[in-house]
């Protein structure tokens, strides 16, 4: 069991391991050809610039319904009951309601009455930040387990007349069940934020309107400076991955798979090149589901798990990046 040094005293620490995964996607899949009928674009243009061929779009499925379904799948995969969950975290930037939070609504659907539930918003890095939050709670001995989800219905905050953004995003949710462990599991995390660059990817909320003032929203839908986001991701993500590898004393050649936020095929290829790692070690699903923000990593993780591609002892790097600007990475040993 690892030791952590604090001043003159060293104390034993614990970690968490993922014991179950789940995911949920809306029934409707919208292809690039379908989008050709809505905006001035083409299948070839979208594929060449993003690697995306299709995405799932809600026709009534909500963030809560998708996330609850993903959480139920994670619990079933883990062989655990909702009544056993002690902490329930939902990462999202597209909730249906300001209050109550999505996590409390999911808690109600699942019947996880004993859980403490709340939301986190770190956009596309949200799931990773939520997983690190669960890790911190368990490591501190406050809770023994956690259900961690990332879910989005981005189709309601996308301008469907803007061909630069509407072709990128999809809806969906993914979740993992984690429990404390004495070895292996999550080995380390790094997290970073740079609010100075936050305006390059933004979406305003409700307008300020009261008896004393009425101010319209400047950006009621997602607005993005694609070049700035691309440059940020290709530069900062490799830095954070190398940072966490150094922190955990892990050689890059020991890593079996790199599970990155599924934003853009070119971004992933650029990151792989900077790390001098073969692209075959970067599994993707963005061609089928697009960019699902905080849902991207857990949905990919669930797909790999259910395909039997994750074996005990494999080392994985998870990395998320997005609005904020927020980014980070984690290393885990699959058990």
Residue pair 106/67 in contact (Cβ under 8 Å)? The answer is yes
The whole-chain average pLDDT of the chain stands at 94
Cβ atoms of residues 89 and 60 within 8 Å: no
Is 124 a catalytic site residue? Answer: yes
Which among 93, 104, 181, 261 is annotated as catalytic?
Answer: 261
Q: What are phi and psi of 294, to 5 degrees?
A: -65, -15
Cβ contact 295:154 at 8 Å: no
Last residue of a domain, which of 183, 215, 237?
183
173 and 206 part of one domain: no
Same domain, 62 and 197: no
291 flagged as catalytic: yes
Number of domains in the chain: 2
pTM for the structure as a whole: 0.94
Q: Is the pLDDT of residue 3 over 50?
A: no
E strand or H helix at 114: none
- Alpha-carbon 335 to chain mean position: 21
- Which residues are CB-contacts of 247 (< 8 A; sequence separation ≥ 6)? 188, 190
Q: What is the CATH number of the domain that holds 274?
A: 3.40.47.10
Domain range holding 31? Answer: 3-183
Q: Which of 118, 152, 183 is the last residue of a domain?
A: 183
Q: How far apart are the first and last CA of the chain?
A: 16
Choice among 132, 145, 291, 305 that is catalytic: 291
CA 137 to chain centre: 19
- Are 309 and 287 part of one and the same domain? yes
b/e per residue, 250-260, with b = 16+ CB within 10 A? Answer: beeeebbbbbb
pLDDT digits (tens, 9 = 90+) for 218-275: 888 999 998 999 999 999 999 999 999 999 999 999 999 999 999 999 999 999 999 9
Q: Are residues 222 and 167 in the same domain?
A: no
Q: Are residues 166 and 208 in the same domain?
A: no
| 120-163: pLDDT as tens digits | 999 999 999 999 999 999 999 999 999 999 999 999 999 999 99
Residues 3 and 13: their CA atoms lie apart, in Å, by 6
Together in a domain, 19 and 167: yes
Point out the catalytic residue in the list 71, 124, 166, 181.
124
Same domain assignment for residues 277 and 153: no
Rounded CA-CA distance 88/116 in Å is: 6
Q: Do 215 and 289 reside in the same domain of the chain?
A: yes
Question: What's the full length of the chain, in residues?
Answer: 335
Are 35 and 174 part of one and the same domain?
yes
Edge-first strand listing for the sheet containing 326-333: 185-193, 326-333, 315-322, 257-260
277 Cβ neighbours under 8 A, 6+ residues apart: 252, 255, 258
Whether residues 61 and 140 share a domain: the answer is yes
pLDDT band at 5 (very low <50, low <70, confident <90, very high): very low
Last residue of a domain, one of 183, 203, 235: 183
Residues 6+ apart with CB under 8 A from 275: 238, 241, 242, 252, 258
Task: Identify whether 261 is a catalytic site residue.
Answer: yes
Q: What is the pLDDT of residue 276?
A: 98
- CB–CB of 175/298 below 8 Å? yes
The DSSP code for 291 is B
Q: State residue 217's pLDDT score.
A: 85
The reply to whether 127 and 108 lie within a common domain is yes
Average pLDDT over residues 60-89: 98
Closest C-alpha among 53, 124, 128 to residue 94: 124
Q: Do 204 and 316 sit in the same domain of this protein? A: yes
């Amino acid at each position: 069991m690892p030791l952590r040094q604090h001043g003159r005293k060293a104390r034993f620490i614990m970690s968490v391991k993922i014991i179950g995964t789940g995911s949920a996607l809306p029934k409707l899949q919208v292809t690039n050809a379908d989008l050709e009928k809505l905006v001035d674009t083409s299948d070839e243009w979208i594929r060449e610039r993003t690697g995306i061929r299709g995405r799932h779009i809600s026709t009534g499925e909500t963030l809560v319904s998708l996330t609850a379904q993903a959480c139920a799948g994670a619990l079933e995969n883990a062989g655990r009951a909702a009544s056993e969950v002690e902490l329930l975290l939902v990462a999202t930037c597209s909730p249906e309601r300001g209050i109550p939070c999505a996590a409390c609504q999911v808690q109600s659907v699942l019947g996880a009455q004993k859980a403490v539930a709340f939301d986190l918003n770190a956009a596309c890095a949200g799931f990773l930040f939520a997983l690190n939050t669960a890790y911190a709670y368990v490591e501190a001995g406050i809770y023994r387990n956690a259900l961690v989800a990332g879910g989005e219905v981005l189709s309601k905050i996308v301008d469907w007349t803007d061909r630069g953004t509407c072709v990128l995003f999809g809806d969906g949710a993914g979740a993992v069940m984690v429990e404390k462990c004495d070895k292996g599991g999550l080995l380390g995390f790094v997290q970073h934020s740079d609010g100075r660059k936050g305006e390059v990817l933004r979406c305003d909320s409700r307008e300020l309107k009261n008896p004393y003032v009425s101010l319209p929203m400047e950006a009621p839908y997602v607005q993005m400076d694609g070049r700035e986001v691309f440059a940020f991701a290709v530069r900062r993500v490799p830095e954070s991955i190398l940072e966490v590898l150094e922190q955990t004393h892990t050689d890059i050649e020991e890593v079996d798979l790199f599970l990155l936020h599924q934003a853009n095929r070119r971004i992933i290829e650029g990151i792989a090149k900077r790390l001098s790692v073969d692209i075959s070690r970067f599994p993707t699903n963005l061609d089928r589901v697009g960019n699902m923000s905080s849902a991207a990593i857990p949905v990919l993780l669930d797909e790999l798990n259910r395909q039997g591609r994750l074996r005990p002892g494999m080392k994985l790097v998870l990395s998320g990046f997005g609005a904020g600007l927020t980014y980070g990475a984690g290393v885990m040993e699959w058990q």
